[in-house]
């Protein structure tokens, strides 16, 4: 067709903008780089090159899918998180930048602590970004990743192996604490961390198309008030803490008071700390046991 990459990407950007896609220019470039398997430098080297018809057609097809709401990460199959590249699929929640705040707080606790080693339980692990990031950043840590979804556990295992930390992790399928309750022994941890489902059931229909139509409902729906999983985790966690245990939870921006109240009613936690994200919104609660 004789159309060069510059013009094709500009046309794709315009198409994404017309469909209301945020960061349209970035998405158009990333989809092109994904299709041709080139880095940013390779992309610019092709700037004045003409595409063959087959590549042009495939690129337009991917741009059309993005225009219709398919998440960029489901096109490229990956997402950056804490400086690491994670594989993602439609079966797991796409990692959000806000969750880096949760990871950063757990890493801070570990690095400033006085224990020689830490055992960490990552509940509702999804693609594994929380547990894998923690074990990647802290050498004195053993992480157990747990999720009710077999596909999520498979994805966590795959990411851990790709990032070279699978030897310091274990992978468990099960519903919250159920796999860690034994007749003769209950497994305990120094830190329990979780980004559980916390969207109110009635709010899901109003979410962005990228989220409500393409991300797993299992990872979004937190029940009628969005607090269902917080109640379960907080009420059951006490049996799974070692001495001076810590519970770290990501929360919705308007849930801090409600989640803190749930914890307070148990009368089992000695301290609570609220952490805000870069936008100044409530994001993480840290409970000391």
| pLDDT confidence bin for 185, thresholds 50/70/90 | confident
Per-residue pLDDT tens over the stretch 200-258: 999 999 988 889 889 888 899 899 999 999 999 999 999 999 999 999 999 999 999 99
Architecture field, domain 82-288:
3-Layer(aba) Sandwich (3.40)
Does position 16 have pLDDT exceeding 70, yes or no?
Answer: yes
pLDDT tens digits, residue range 267-286? 999 899 999 999 999 999 99
CB 176 within 8 A of CB 233: yes
What would the pLDDT profile of 153-184 be if each residue is shown by its tens digit? 999 999 999 999 999 999 999 999 999 987 66
Q: Locate the domains of the chain by residue range.
A: 5-68, 82-288
Q: What is the pLDDT of residues 84-116, one digit of tens each?
A: 999 999 999 999 999 999 999 999 999 999 899
This prediction's pTM: 0.91
């Amino acid at each position: 067709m004789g159309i060069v990459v510059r013009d094709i990407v500009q046309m794709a950007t315009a198409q994404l903008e017309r469909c209301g896609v945020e960061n349209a220019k970035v998405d158009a470039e990333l989809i092109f780089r994904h299709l041709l398997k080139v880095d940013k430098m390779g992309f610019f080297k092709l700037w004045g090159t003409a595409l063959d018809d087959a590549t042009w057609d495939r690129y337009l097809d991917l741009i059309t899918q993005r225009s219709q709401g398919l998440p960029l990460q489901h096109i490229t199959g990956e997402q950056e998180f804490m400086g690491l590249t994670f594989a993602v699929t439609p079966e797991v929640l796409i990692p959000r930048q806000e969750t880096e705040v949760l990871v950063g707080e757990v890493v801070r606790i570990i690095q400033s602590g006085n224990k020689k080693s830490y055992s960490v339980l990552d509940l509702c692990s999804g693609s594994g970004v929380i547990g894998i990031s923690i074990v990647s950043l802290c050498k004195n840590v053993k992480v157990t990743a747990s999720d009710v979804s077999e596909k999520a556990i498979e994805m966590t295992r795959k990411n851990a192996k790709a990032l070279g930390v699978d030897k310091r992790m274990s992978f468990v399928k099960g519903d919250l604490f159920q796999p860690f309750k034994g007749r003769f022994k209950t497994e305990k941890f120094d830190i329990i961390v979780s980004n559980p489902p916390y969207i109110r059931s009635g709010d899901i229909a109003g979410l962005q198309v990228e989220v409500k139509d393409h991300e797993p409902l299992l990872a979004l729906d937190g029940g009628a008030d969005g607090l269902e999983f917080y109640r379960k985790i907080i009420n059951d966690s006490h049996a799974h803490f070692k001495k001076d245990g810590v519970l770290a939870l990501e929360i919705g921006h308007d849930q801090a008071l409600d989640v803190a109240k749930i914890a307070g009613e148990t009368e089992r936690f000695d301290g609570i700390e609220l952490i805000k994200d870069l936008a100044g919104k409530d994001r993480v609660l840290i409970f000391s046991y």
